[in-house]
Chains A and B, each alone.
Chain A
């Protein structure tokens, strides 16, 4: 019945303090479907992404994976998921490779070769043995993207993955997103400029 293996949100409401940030968001994602979330600043794009990955529990409404509430199957669901927050979430004292090993390694058994390949794929293999704190903002973003790749997750939830990237980097992310869709992956991307071929969800202020 779940040929689509969908992630679905049903009438999700979230308040932050007094502000009613998400007002009844409903959406469904099937395999091979990537959603672009856009909208003015402060309209809850990041909040929506955090709800989708289960970090934030909505006050009302339901988020489900294959028909089961994600709070019920939290670990199984999160094992399938790669989330990239708008900060790159790297430890400055660890090298790029160690950063990947200690986060991807918790998700699946991974060899150093896999991780270096992921770093090479995002064009930062030369930074593998440098501590993350000496990397530029763009390089850190690329390392974070390498982590998403190395997790081999089915669901990608990316918060502004294009920030700090040069033109080649932006093109790379677009290509990776396309490949993810072709592999049958799904997910959501917060981005401000229009991305080709993605369904769009525009959040209103």
Chain B
């Protein structure tokens, strides 16, 4: 009657999705933030398309980083406050699996949703349609990496009363390579060059964090739970 790893993953994903969708404000806040920030730039800058197009990759990526960061704080916080995190830690399953499921569901509602919305923003910023595949791919890889990095930060800061500032201080420096390669890939795609180089780097970072971050975040959580 043992519960296998896949069942743990699917049960945890269902739990997280249930919780996210019962709290639509939590779900929409990062997305609305992303939309508004990116929409402010064309309003603030002159509506010259060439200028917008030059700025677009940076705007898109900075907004994506900040909006993902906005929702990261809540990754373990709710569970820690009501005591369910202890229950999860004691469920007899590897805590890394639980952490991975929670991080993946965070990515699904923040990162993946943001990727789906990004073409809308891209049109507003004047990004040509040929650049869309590279932009979508880079955002997908980048936000997933960010969720993993954020899980480490959230695990470290969940026990602190004002952890959100510390969380940004921990995660943002680690996210710099994402910004550089992500914006780089989008920029190259806009100018018609091959975006393969920066995309490979993003993919490598994504694989690196996907394999190592669950362990780091688990260790961080164990310390916090003590």
A contact set with B: CB distance below 8 Å:
53-57, 75-76, 78-81, 83, 85, 87-94, 98, 101-103, 105-109
Contacts and interface: CB of A to CB of B under 8 A. Distances in A.
Contacts of B88: 103, 106
8 contacts: A55-B226, A56-B225, A75-B94, A78-B91, A85-B87, A94-B15, A106-B11, A108-B1
B83 interface: yes
A-B residue pairs, 8 tightest by C-beta: A79-B92, A89-B83, A106-B91, A93-B22, A102-B15, A78-B92, A87-B83, A78-B90
A78 B78 CA distance: 23
A85 B83 contact: yes
A87 B87 CA distance: 11
A94 B226 contact: no
A80 B82 CA distance: 23
Contacts of A108: 1-3
B58 interface: no
Contact of B90 (A57, A76, A83): A83
B86 A85 contact: yes
Given A79-B92, A90-B84, 20 more contacts: A54-B90, A75-B92, A75-B93, A80-B92, A83-B87, A83-B90, A91-B82, A93-B23, A94-B22, A98-B18, A101-B11, A103-B84, A105-B11, A106-B3, A106-B8, A106-B11, A106-B98, A107-B91, A108-B1, A109-B1
Contacts of B11: 101-102, 105-106
Interface in B39-88: 78, 82-84, 86-88
